[in-house]
Structure 1
Amino acid sequence: MTKVDLKKDIAAYTAPRGRFEIVEVPPLRYLMIDGHGAPAGPEYADAITTIYSVAYPLKFLSKKELDRDYVVPPLEAQWWADDMDSFTVNRDKSQWSWTCLNLVPDWVPAELVDRAIATAAEKGAPSIDAVRLEELREGTCVQTLHLGSFDDEGPVLARMHDEFIPAQGLRMTGRHHEIYFSDFRRTEPAKLRTVLRQPVEHT
């Protein structure tokens, strides 16, 4: 059985380091959990635990019942705040709201997702009632690959928001989106690899 790696098969999961590019992101389905507060807080940690407590049973159900195996995709998150300067200037993480995301293959039916959620609930996953399956339509986006600490993202995002996007005749529309190719619990900050993505539209 061939094991599919979605982050290699979907072009929008590749981003250049050191420069910005404009990409078209297709509609994609995700496991989602909403929350608020700093990423180092307990609510965000519980959301990550719960997302993976569903994602792994879902992978095994797909392999067993659909005869289609895949690599569990990386953690992702959307971030936003009433004052977007909290991302680019003062980095006041207490103001941040977020949605944790994990990509679901397009061949997996919603019924299988419901069963994976039920399995996670039986095992006592926190925040399990908050998990949902939803399609995300981001369309045109600007993105780049950031290598380094999350706390070093501010200047990169400032250049993206204040320089590159306006210079291309674009404006920001959706929520800031990050894709985490590294496990931040096991990777030193200088080696973290993160796609920074911003949905946009023409002015």
Structure 2
Amino acid sequence: MTPKADLKKTHSDLYGTGAAPVFVDVPALPYLMIDGTGDPDGPVYAESVGALYGVAYAIRFALKGAGVLEYPVMPLEGLWWDADDGSFDHRADRGTWRWTMMILQPPAAADYFAEAAATAARKKPASPVARVRYEEAPEERAVQILHTGPYAEETPAIEKLLAHAAAGGAAVTGLHREIYLSNPSRTAPEKLKTLIRYAVTPGKS
């Protein structure tokens, strides 16, 4: 029988945060990633995310078919910035936004990435699958908070998060990171659940 796992439960401290900000220790974890620039409502972003999911599902099916592991595909995550110093202003021209979209993978995915990418490319030759990479993100200390509501209304949650980091003696060092726990095509804007996370320097708590 194929073993089963739910990575959200395996890493429940990283995906189960509530409306109060908390510090978390994020281990080094493997992801599928794709980089891009431009409006997240534009075609480049849509095609990029489609390619990312294409490879993610191909890996999932390969691992299940090989009897290695059966698991749900993890939520989409994104790193966002719009300046060379890594800062991000969500009120800036969306055409200038830069992003790295990511999907967490089980460790066994490393051995199946090349085959899965080739499979995804054959299924959708026009998809930018060639830009998808498999990469391990380094471990980090971070602060995160759950925002419920439209993406454009994240500012109060971010302010709470930054205040919590400062109170803990930590300084933000990483990019603006979002983890999308809701499907925006199936969820009303006021009910969207998004984890917001920033890497920080070690603090006192």
TM-score (structure 2 length as normaliser): 0.90
Give the structure 1 partner of residue 167 of structure 2. Answer: 167
Give the structure 2 partner of residue 184 of structure 1. Answer: 184
Give the structure 2 partner of residue 36 of structure 1. Answer: 37
Residues 1:9 and 2:47 are matched in the alignment: no
Distance in 1 between residues matched to 2:54 and 2:34, nearest whole Å: 12
Q: Deviations over 1:124-167 (max 9, x none)?
A: 25111111000111411000111111011123223323x22222
Aligned residues: 198
Letter in 2 for 1:60: F
Give the structure 1 partner of residue 81 of structure 2. Answer: 80
Superposed counterparts of 1:14-163, under 5 Å: 14-17=16-19, 19-82=20-83, 84=87, 86-87=89-90, 90-108=91-109, 110-123=110-123, 124=125, 126-161=127-162, 163=163
- Whether contact under 8 Å (2:63, 2:70) holds in the other structure is yes
Structure number having the greater strand percentage: 1
- Whether contact under 8 Å (2:141, 2:202) holds in the other structure is no
SS at match of 2:63: helix
Flag as ranges the 4+ runs of structure 1 deviating above 4 A: none
1:95 Cα deviation after fit: 2.7
Distance in 2 between residues matched to 1:21 and 1:41, nearest whole Å: 33
Mark the CA change 1:68 to 1:80 in structure 2 (over 3 Å): closer, same or farther: same
Gaps of at least 5 residues in structure 2 are: none
1:25 Cα deviation after fit: 0.6
- Whether contact under 8 Å (2:51, 2:129) holds in the other structure is yes
* Paired-residue identity, %: 40
CA RMSD, Structure 1 to Structure 2 (Å): 1.7
Letter in 1 for 2:24: V
Q: Deviations over 1:139-198 (max 9, x none)?
A: 11000111111011123223323x222222111112111111111122110111111111
1:73 Cα deviation after fit: 0.7
Distance in 2 between residues matched to 1:143 and 1:135, nearest whole Å: 20
Letter in 2 for 1:36: T
Gaps of at least 5 residues in structure 1 are: none
